[in-house]
Amino acid sequence: MAAGSNAAPLSAVERIERARRLGLAVGRVYLGAKANQMLARGLGPERMRARWSRFHRDSAESIYRTAIELQGLILKGCQYVGARADLMPREWIEVLSKLQDRVPPRELPVVRRVIEGELGRPLEAVFRDFAPRPVASASLAQVHEATLRDGRRVAVKVQYPEVAEQVRGDLANLRALFRAIGWLESDLDLLPLIDEFGRHVPRELDFLAEARNAERVAAMFVARTDVRVPRVHRDWTTRRVLVMEFVDGVKITDRDALQAAGVDLERVMRALVEAWCEQVLVHGFFQADPHPGNLLVERESGRLVLLDFGLAKQLPARFRADSLRFLVGLLRRDADEMAEALLALGFATRDGSRESLASLARAGLGAARDLAEAGSLAPERVERIGREIAEQLRRDPVVRIPSHVVLLGRTLGLLSGVARSLDTSVDPLSVALPYVMGSPAPGIRRS
């Protein structure tokens, strides 16, 4: 295969304009937040709650418009934020989550140029049929249904021609912007977040690496009949074009369609939990982007289908043992033991002490205790816990969170959202417990 590049470098004017638009959007949010913080000194909590709610929605809508306009890395980042209901205010989630399904696709001539440049031959020489409209479009690429010359039905993932150049420029812009914010706010260091993002996103631009990840995860489930990874067609896969077996399925969060097809939702839920338990706790390698668009269920078989392996992670050898140590500390309500486990996992605070992590653990234990006793947390309790944790972080910020923990936390958050959508009686903790203790369910094949 001949590989080519169809991406025209961004001009200096385009790079400056992207930096300007990004700076204006983020600067507007930053200045608005500072204004609200000043007003909070004179306004009551009730008025400030309403004011913060309006501010969050207006800010999110401004960032949403910027993401649609700039696309590339900015859109990818906003999609990530929009999936983090555990971290962001409700207003941000409601607005930015719409980006998951509303990415404007590229036209067929653009797609054709990328494919022909990568494969070194006309589109018709490879595909007997090629759907002009994509079946899915995301921040970095879009997917078309096609048929190979030999009749096999495939999904063709095509990277946008300008996205690699945009990612490089946007990362530089974000670093400069967040460095300036860090200069203004000495207790707010966002550069580690950008560094982490900068390590992961470029990996998603290498479809050969994605192909290897898909094949590795597929090998984990070769003995299972309830989990499937589509086969990669290596002959037609390059760094910017990925050709895989086409699977016709139902989006895992479309509960009505799954029930109409007679799919056993309990079985799907159990397969979902076991699939990630096996990846994380048995093999130590996992697909780190299980959002609903990457999870399908076959109509006839009810089999879980895993898609998109651009973001995957190898866990350190001691990850399982250190995580189990943290869990034991949590169950014992031992903040010092939890802090030791966090240090072993790779967490660090600015002063490097265990006590700072233990203080955070104690705040978390207080919330867990209240939740266990009351079944839910009252808004005023949530607000107080937030203040306690924020105060501790101001005194001694966490300056290092291991990348595998960041990705695993994000993965668990996305899986939790999918589980809520399925709304089954399956208890994920009960399914996961044998894996945590080192004895997965019978029939699970170990590496």
Give me the active site residues, please.
Answer: 289
Alpha carbons 157 and 70: distance in angstroms, whole number? 21
Is 66 in contact with 25 (CB distance < 8 Å)?
yes
Quick one: which of 120, 314, 117, 111 has its CA closest to 212? 314
Question: By three-state DSSP, how is residue 73 classified?
Answer: helix
Dihedral sign for Cα atoms in the order 145, 147, 148, 149: negative
Alpha carbons 110 and 61: distance in angstroms, whole number? 29
Structure tokens, 138: 């995301």
Quick one: which of 115, 201, 191, 227 has its CA closest to 160? 115
Residue 134 host element (H or E): none
Q: How far is CA 131 from the centre of its chain?
A: 28
Alpha carbons 418 and 412: distance in angstroms, whole number? 10
Q: How far is CA 312 from the centre of its chain?
A: 10
C-alpha pair distances (Å), 30 with each of 23, 24, 54, 187, 188:
10, 10, 15, 14, 12
